[in-house]
């Protein structure tokens, strides 16, 4: 099928029928096949022209008589006259026209009409309507150079067909063509409509996308304002709190005179709760800094083994108090990782504290550190392991508890700020729901990952992976 480079026609052009052309509606090859089969069936030379006189399909063997005539000057002149005359032949109101040429052979021109408009012409011929016809004098006397006997012989080889047959062939072909044109038109319309509706749907989607983008930008701005507010408020809360803690500390130390046992107990409680409040505010401040991207990580070469031991010794008293066994395993020869030691310590402390909190009496919490392939950690072999598996190495830190565990459906949400698995007011465990969101953001800041797995038979495993080398991107 020949596709024109012209811009696609609009629906109105295609349906209201402005300038529909034969070439637009039929495939050249299909047309050629149809007229070739008619040519084979009836032995008539057939040509199809577009409305502006371009030959579109040709099913006509070369005529030996014409080839011979072409060898003489007068013959050549006569033939070109024939060609011009036939080409200029306009079909009458009945859609047909006849022409008899100098050789005595006939031509039939039939209009190709679609949607009551002429869009092309079909030329049948030359043919001899009378099977017994003898060459006319106009042919034999054309040029003295031409051999009369040869002309007679070639004349007999001209295609023959009586007028009625030619009329029938022309009408039959017109009907076949009409159907071809109709199918072509239908296909053209369908494809154009498809394109147009896709374009229209695309335009609609674009429209909606733009509206969504505006709404999204607005929400992002609101979120930024919220973070700013959080940072300001936390900061403003911290200042007076420092004084409260400082003065209660001085009271406990007796700087303002001796306290009774009861007074000391009360003031100590004020101090402890003050510390708790301060920790909470620091958490909020961290979170808002992390969210607004203003927290800077001071990265350096960090030895994970040292870090793990430190965390375990820090948390040991808490574990002992809760009667939870706290152990650690560190693989030998761990590489140094590129991290902010203080922040990474905060991550491990938080996870370990959580693990102890949710592990019942006589349970165990284990810290495990080992080397791992970074991309292999995201859910097993998901294809391309051989290419991606060893791309980057990292150190994996696991905090394994035998606590209540986290249902699979909750695992992706526990890292959201303020999210609590058990958010009922009667929940057993305390906490603000800030810890894990800070963990997640700190780990992200290290170009690492954190995920949750189930421990067998019960409990959860928090897996933090930090790359060994500095990320090259981002």
Among 133, 174, 196, 388, binds another protein (CB under 8 A): 196
Q: Which residue, 115 or 375, has its beta carbon nearer to another protein?
A: 115
Q: Does 206 bind another protein (CB under 8 A)?
A: no
By CB under 8 A, how many residues form the interface with another protein?
Answer: 19
Q: How far is the CB of 198 from another protein (least distance, A)?
A: 8
Region of 21-29, 180-188, 390-398, 422-430 interacting with another protein (CB under 8 A): 180-188
Q: How far apart are CA 234 and CA 252, in angstroms?
A: 26
Structure tokens at 394: 């990292």
8 A C-beta contact, residue 432 and residue 287: no
Tell me which of 4, 37, 150, 201 binds another protein, using CB under 8 A: 201
> Taking the complex as a whole, how short is the minimal distance between the CB of residue 179 and another protein, in angstroms?
9
The span from the CA of 22 to the CA of 28, in Å, is: 9
Cβ-based nearer residue to another protein, 204 or 408: 204
CA 452 to chain centre: 31
Please name the helix (run of DSSP H) or strand (run of DSSP E) that holds residue 67, with its range, or none. helix 64-69
204 sits near another protein (criterion: CB under 8 A): yes
State the Cα–Cα distance between residues 283 and 246, nearest whole angstrom.
20
Choice between 64 and 178, CB closer to another protein? 178
Cβ(379)–Cβ(385) under 8 Å? no
285 close to 238: Cβ distance less than 8 angstroms: yes
Query: Which of 110/365 has CB closer to another protein?
Result: 110
Of the candidate residues 108, 121, 185, 343, the single one contacting another protein (CB under 8 A) = 185
* Closer CB to another protein, 15 or 314, in the complex: 15
Least CB distance to another protein at residue 88 (A): 21
C-alpha to C-alpha distance for 401 and 364, rounded to whole angstroms:
6
Considering only residues 44 through 83, tell me which ones interact with another protein, judged by CB under 8 A.
none
State which of residues 4, 8, 11, 40 lies at the interface with another protein (CB under 8 A).
Answer: 11
Q: How far apart are CA 342 and CA 437, in angstroms?
A: 17
Q: Does 210 bind another protein (CB under 8 A)?
A: no
Stretch that binds another protein, among 104-112, 137-145, 179-187, 299-307 (CB under 8 A): 179-187
Kindly state the smallest distance separating residue 117's Cβ from another protein, in Å.
8
Is residue 320 involved in binding another protein (CB under 8 A)?
no
- C-alpha dist (Å) from residue 451 to 307, 350, 374: 20, 15, 13
Q: Which is nearer to another protein, 157 or 208 (CB)?
A: 208
Task: Please identify which residue in 73, 156, 186, 427 interacts with another protein, judged by CB under 8 A.
Answer: 186
Burial of residue 153 (CB within 10 Å: 0-12, 13-18, 19+) is middle
> What track of x and - describes contact with another protein for positions 88 through 127 (by CB under 8 A)?
---------------------------xx-----------
Q: Does 281 bind another protein (CB under 8 A)?
A: no
User: DSSP assignment, residue 366?
Assistant: E
Q: Which is nearer to another protein, 11 or 41 (CB)?
A: 11
CA dist 209 and 266 (Å) reads 59
Tokens of 357: 């909190």
Phi, psi of 302 (to 5 degrees): -125, 135
DSSP conformation letters of 292-313: HT-PPP--EEE-HHHHHHHHHH
Q: Hey, what are 4's tokens?
A: 């024109």
Which residues would be at the binding site for another protein (CB under 8 A)?
11-12, 15-18, 115-116, 182, 185-186, 189-190, 193, 196-197, 200-201, 204
């Amino acid at each position: 099928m020949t596709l024109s480079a012209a811009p696609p026609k609009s629906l109105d052009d295609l349906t209201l029928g402005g300038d529909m052309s034969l070439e637009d509606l039929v495939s050249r090859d299909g047309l050629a096949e149809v007229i070739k089969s008619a040519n084979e069936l009836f032995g008539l030379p057939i040509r199809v022209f577009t409305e502006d006189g371009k030959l579109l399909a040709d099913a006509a063997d070369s005529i030996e008589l014409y080839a011979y005539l072409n060898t003489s000057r007068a013959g050549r002149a006569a033939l070109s006259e024939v060609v011009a005359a036939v080409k200029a032949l306009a079909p009458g109101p009945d859609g047909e026209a006849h022409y008899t040429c100098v050789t005595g052979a006939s031509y039939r021109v039939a209009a190709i009409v679609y949607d009551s408009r002429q869009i092309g012409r079909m030329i049948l011929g030359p043919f001899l309507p009378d099977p017994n016809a003898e060459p006319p004098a106009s042919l034999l006397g054309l040029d003295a150079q031409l051999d009369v006997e040869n002309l007679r012989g070639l004349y007999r080889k001209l295609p023959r067909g009586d007028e009625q047959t030619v009329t029938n062939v022309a009408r039959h072909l017109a009907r076949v063509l009409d159907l071809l044109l109709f199918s072509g038109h239908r296909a053209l319309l369908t494809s154009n409509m498809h394109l147009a509706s896709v374009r229209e749907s695309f335009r609609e989607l674009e429209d909606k996308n733009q509206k969504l983008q505006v709404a999204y930008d607005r929400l992002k701005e609101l979120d930024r304002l919220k973070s700013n507010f959080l940072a300001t408020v936390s900061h403003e809360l911290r200042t007076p709190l420092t004084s409260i803690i400082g003065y209660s500390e001085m009271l406990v130390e007796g700087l303002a005179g001796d306290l009774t046992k009861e007074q000391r107990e009360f003031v100590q409680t004020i101090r402890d709760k003050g510390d708790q409040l301060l920790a909470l505010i620091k958490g909020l401040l961290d979170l808002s800094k992390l969210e607004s991207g203003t927290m800077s990580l001071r990265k350096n070469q960090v030895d994970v083994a040292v870090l793990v031991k430190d965390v375990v010794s820090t948390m040991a008293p808490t574990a002992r108090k809760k009667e939870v066994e706290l152990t650690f395993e560190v693989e030998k020869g761990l590489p140094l990782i590129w991290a902010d030691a203080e922040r990474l310590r905060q991550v491990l402390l938080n996870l370990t504290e959580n693990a102890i909190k949710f592990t019942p009496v006589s349970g165990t919490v284990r810290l495990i550190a080992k080397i791992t392939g970074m991309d292999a950690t995201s859910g097993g072999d998901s294809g391309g392991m051989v290419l991606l598996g060893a791309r980057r190495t990292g150190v994996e830190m696991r905090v394994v508890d035998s606590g209540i565990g986290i249902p699979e459906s909750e695992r992706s949400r526990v890292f959201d700020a303020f999210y609590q698995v058990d958010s009922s007011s009667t929940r057993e465990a305390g906490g603000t729901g800030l810890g894990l969101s800070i963990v997640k953001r700190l780990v992200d800041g290290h170009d690492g990952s954190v995920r949750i797995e189930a421990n067998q038979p019960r409990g959860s495993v928090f897996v933090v992976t930090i790359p060994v080398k500095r990320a090259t991107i981002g």
